[in-house]
Structures are given as C-alpha cells and as structure tokens.
Chains A and B, each alone.
Chain A
Amino acid sequence: MHHVERIGASTITRVDRFIYAVGYVVEVLRQVPRFLTHRRTGSRVLTMQVLFTGVEALSVIATISLGIGTVIVIQGLSLLPQFGQGRLIYSILIIVITRELGPILTALIVTARSGTAIATELGNMVVSHEIEAYSITGINPIRHIVVPRLIGVTFSTFLLNLYFNVFGLLGSFVVTQFVNPVSLQEYWSGLLEALSMTDVASSIVKSLVFGAITALVATFHGLQVERSSTEIPVAAIRSVGRGITLLIVANALITLAYYL
C-alpha cells in the first residue's frame, strides 16, 4: 500500500511539473510579441545574448564544422570513386552538414556554452533576489529576462547553423583541392545540385526549434532555483541534461517528419 501511495504521489508530482513547464512555455511565448513591440526595454539584453551565444561561439563552430567537412571529404573521396559514385560526396555533404549534423551540433554547443550560462545566471538572480526586485517594481521578469534570452539564443543558433554550413562546405572544398582538385564552380554546382529547398527548410526549422528548446530549458531550470546558491550548479547540470535529451528527441521527430 505504501508503494502504491508513493507511485501515486510521484505521478502527481510529475504531472504537476509537466503542467507547470507547459504553462511556463506558453507564458514565455505569449510574452514574445509584447517584447517585440516594446523592444527598447530589453534590446541590450538581446544584443548581449546574441554576442555571447552567437559571436563568441563562432570560432568553436567554425573549427568543428571545418573538421567534419574535412573528414567527410577525405573518407568519401577515398571510397566513393571506387564505385563510380564520386558525385555522391555532394549529397553526403548536404545530408550530414546541412540537414543533420549542422543543426544538432550547433544546438549542442549552444546548450553546453549558453544553456549552462543562462541557467547559472538566472539562478544567481533568483538567489540574489533580483527577480523579486523586478516583480516588486512591476517589471515582468519573463518579458524582460527570459524572452530576450529566448530570442537571442534562437536567433544565434539559427545564424550559427548557417555559419556551420558555410565553414563545413568551404572547408571541404579546401580539402578537396589537396585530394581531388576541382574548380570552385564545379564544386558549388555539385553542392547546389544536391541541395534542395527542403534541405534548407529542414535545417532552418531544426535550428530555430533547437534554439528555442535550449533557451526555454535553460531559463526554466535557472528560475527553478529557490534560495540556496548550491542549487545553481544542479540547475545548470539539469538544464544541460534535459536540454540535450529534448534536442535529440526533437531532432528525431523533425527528421521523421522530413521523410514522411
């Protein structure tokens, strides 16, 4: 009887948390249009968020995408021409870099860098009663703290995904010049032939969804901190763990929708 009681209590708690999280997401999304119409109040936060999440992560993204593009080209050009399918390298580059790895790797890097930072920052704000101060002075903390971070992280993820593609495909071209030299025109022609608008749309949708998930999870767990500073690292860890899980699930669902 005791176990049944415990299972029931646990279920009710989880359902409550889920409903709370859904309510939080709805409230954040409801505040987005209001933030955009009254942008001046939080524009500095938004700019700094793009600077931190987007610009400062550019070097990491560029390095990783160059490396991945290089590996794909070397492996592909060593294997595919043996089957007379050398041109498949373009399709593989598009599938791996544009459609799959670009969005998810960018989102993982953003989660690791910015997700933890946001959760930590918001946790500290809660512990130092800054959130309470916002509320007391009549400022909606969701609109002025969470929404700029949501927009900034989402937009940054989208831009970083674009840069990931550019560096990945450019890096592969540079490597191609050492392995199997082709003209830039031929290379881009092959890439653009393999690229479709569906690939572009899939990549854009993924990057936007992943950015939103990263920001929402990070802010949610950051605001979950109650009073002790020892809760902050726990919130950061949870935000990364839950964020990565949700990213992978969302990636699978979007990829599934792409093939349906």
Chain B
Amino acid sequence: MKLRYRYANQVVGVFVIVAIALTVILIVLLGVNQRWFRRNYEYYARFDTARDVAVGMSITFRGFTVGRVREITLTETNDVHVRFTIQEEYIDKVTRDSLIQVVTNPLGGGQILLHQGREPTEPIEEGSQIPTHDSEQGLRLREEDRVIILRDTDPIAQALGQIDPILANVDKVLLNVVGLTEEIDLAFRGESVGPVGAALTSFERAVADLQHTVAGVNRVVNETTIQIDSLLGDVQLIARNLEQTSAALADPTGLVKTLLDPSGSIATLLDDDNRLFEDITLIIASLERSIAGLDESLTQVAEFTAYLNTAQPQILSLLEEGRQTITTGQAVLQGIRNNPLIRGGIPEAREQPTTFRSVRDEEF
C-alpha cells in the first residue's frame, strides 16, 4: 500500500488545514487592508449626473487613496446624492473650502480627487456636504482662490481633459460650417441677409455696374468715332478745296493768267459790273465758312480730347475697381468651393500692381 494511502487521513488533514489557514490569513489581511476595523468619516456631495461616478470609486488626495464612494442615490429634486467616506487617518485633509472633482478615463475607471481648502482649519463636521469642482460653490471657491487645485497625474485623464476642449472647438467649427452652408444655400437662393449673401449680392451688383460702365464706354467711343468720322469728312472736303485752289493758282494759264490778262479776270473784275467781284466775294465767304467749320470741328476735337483726358482716370478707376471686385469674387467662390476645414480656406491672393497707385496720385 502506498504511503500516501496508508496515511491518507494525515495527508488530507494537512491539505485541509493549510487551505483553511491560508483562507483565514487572506480574510484577515483583506480586513486589515480594507479597513474593516477602522473608522471612516462620512460626507456627501451632489452631482448633476451619476454617469462618471460609481460605488467603490476611490477618493484620492495627492495620489493617496483617502476614501471611497459608498452609495449613490437619486433624490426627489433630481440631484445625484453621492455618499462617500474618508479614512480616519486622512480626516485632517478635509478642511473648510475643500472640494471634490471627478476624473475619469476608460481604462482606469476614474477616481475622485479631493482638493484641500487653502486655509488650514479643523476638519469639517462629519455628514457635511463637500461641494463639487463644477458646482456654483466650487466655482466660487476656485475664483476666490480659496482651494488648492492640483493637477491629476493620470496621463489618460490628462489627455482626455485636453481632448475635451478640442472636441468642443471641433463642435463649434462644425456648427459654423453647417451655418455657413445654410447661409450659402440662402445666398444662392437670394434670401440671405448675412455677410456671404451681402458679398454675393455686392459682387453681382458690381458685375452689373461694370457691364453698365463698359456699355457706357462703348457708347461714348461709338459716338466719338461717328463725330471724328464727320470731322474727317469735313477736313477732307476742305483739303480738296484747298488743293483745287492751289492747282488753279499754280497753272500759268489758269487762274493767274486769267486774273492778270487785260482781257482776263482783273480787267473783267474791274469792268464787268462787279460780277466777278461778287463771285470772288462768294468764294471768300465760302472759304470763311469752311474755315469756321474747320475751326468748330477742331474745337470739338479739342473738347473731346479734354473730355477724354478728364474721364480717363475715372474710367481707369472704374476698370480697376471692377478688376478688384472680380478678383475678390473669384476668391470668395474659390473659398466656398474649397471647404475651409479640408483644403485650407481662401487662398492668398497675389497682389496685382496697378498702373498707378490711386486716382489722386495720377497727374491729370
């Protein structure tokens, strides 16, 4: 028979006794570690929600666990009543103006930080309320710097704390994008009263004005061209008359001979009962009218040139403003087409130098 079977009772006895001893030791250690025989002081806090709080969650002070959440209840006034205990040896940390803050992370399960009041006082009475970090009282304590706020050392909680504002900003940006999209929709429908709608309306108006201006310039140019054609016709007529007169004067058998011949024009002029004289008078009168017409035409040309000189800066200004309006409009449309969140917004416009700096800088 095997030794083990011969002493089966003893072997089993040792097996059982060791196991029972281990169990007793474990329970005693558990009791000591979990403070079954030590006093805890009870306090409570009120939260808006129990989402981040759980029974058993530890309350820490400068990295030390000083207490635990014991009970969470919903009151009749819809407040979340959280009852927690502070260990006896840390009760002096719970001074006046102390507050608590919930810090959570998905891995650690979260904890509650105890922030001590700045003024050293006696521990506050057991059963009192300790304000939370975000409550009105907590905000006031923080604003008045009556509490020592330490940063949590949990990197995940810190990261989450940094992510929250970013998410809030992203939320705002998305809301702005939605608003902008709606504004653009309204603007394209012509129902917007916002800045984008105003810009599009202004751009539309500027294009219409530019078209109107260009049409006006075209009309002036056409009219001027017609006037210049008319003037050129008059000048050509005068030139042709002068040419004929010169040809007549250059011909020795022509006008001069006729004039100087005894039987010619002079004699005729002197002896033809003023008939030739009247002809000459008529010719001179005709020449005078031609010269007067030429003078008038030259005056008109001068006036038109002066008008053009006067209007040139305004036309250039109008054209420049039109170009700038079109550039701005292109930038706005480019910005709308390029979603600001995705493609980096409105591209920087390259400055196009003008032919002059401003209307006032131009000499005219």
Q: Which residues of B contact A (CB under 8 A)?
A: 4-5, 8-9, 11-12, 15-16, 19, 22-23, 26-27, 29-30, 33-34, 56, 65, 107-108, 153-156
A selection of 23 A-B contacts at a CB cut-off of 8 Å is A50-B12, A50-B16, A51-B11, A51-B12, A54-B12, A55-B11, A55-B15, A83-B107, A83-B156, A84-B156, A159-B15, A162-B19, A162-B22, A163-B19, A166-B22, A189-B33, A192-B30, A192-B33, A193-B65, A195-B30, A197-B30, A200-B27, A200-B30
A47 at the interface (CB under 8 A from B): yes
Q: How far is the CA of A166 from the CA of B26 in the complex (A)?
A: 10
6 interchain residue pairs of minimum CB distance: A192-B33, A84-B155, A159-B19, A50-B12, A51-B8, A55-B15
- Kindly report which residue of chain A lies nearest to residue B56, judged by CB atoms: A196
Task: Assess whether A88 is in contact with B107, with CB atoms less than 8 Å apart.
Answer: yes
Q: A192-B34, A200-B30 are in contact. List 16 more A-B contacts (CB 8 A).
A: A47-B12, A51-B4, A51-B5, A51-B11, A83-B107, A84-B153, A84-B154, A88-B107, A162-B23, A163-B19, A192-B29, A192-B30, A193-B65, A195-B30, A196-B34, A197-B34
Closest Cβ of chain A: how far from B107's Cβ, in Å?
5
Chain A 32-51, CB within 8 Å of chain B: the 1/0 string?
A: 00000000000000011011
A188 at the interface (CB under 8 A from B): yes
Task: Assess whether A85 is in contact with B33, with CB atoms less than 8 Å apart.
Answer: no
Chain A 157-199, CB within 8 Å of chain B: the 1/0 string?
A: 0010011001000000000000000000000110011011100
Q: How far is the CA of A115 from the CA of B34 in the complex (A)?
A: 38
Q: How far is the CA of A166 from the CA of B19 in the complex (A)?
A: 10
Task: Assess whether B15 is in contact with A54, with CB atoms less than 8 Å apart.
Answer: yes
Q: How far is the CA of A53 from the CA of B350 in the complex (A)?
A: 88
Q: How far is the CA of A31 from the CA of B16 in the complex (A)?
A: 24
- Kindly report which residue of chain B lies nearest to residue A46, judged by CB atoms: B12
A110 at the interface (CB under 8 A from B): no
Task: Assess whether A88 is in contact with B12, with CB atoms less than 8 Å apart.
Answer: no
Task: Assess whether B9 is in contact with A58, with CB atoms less than 8 Å apart.
Answer: no
Closest Cβ of chain A: how far from B104's Cβ, in Å?
13
- Kindly report which residue of chain B lies nearest to residue A152, judged by CB atoms: B12
Chain A 185-218, CB within 8 Å of chain B: the 1/0 string?
A: 0001100110111001000000000000000000
A163 partner residues in chain B, CB cutoff 8 A: 19, 22
A47 partner residues in chain B, CB cutoff 8 A: 8-9, 12
B4 partner residues in chain A, CB cutoff 8 A: 51, 55
- Kindly report which residue of chain A lies nearest to residue B27, judged by CB atoms: A200
A159 partner residues in chain B, CB cutoff 8 A: 15-16, 19
Task: Assess whether B33 is in contact with A193, with CB atoms less than 8 Å apart.
Answer: yes
A88 partner residues in chain B, CB cutoff 8 A: 107-108
- Kindly report which residue of chain B lies nearest to residue A87, judged by CB atoms: B108
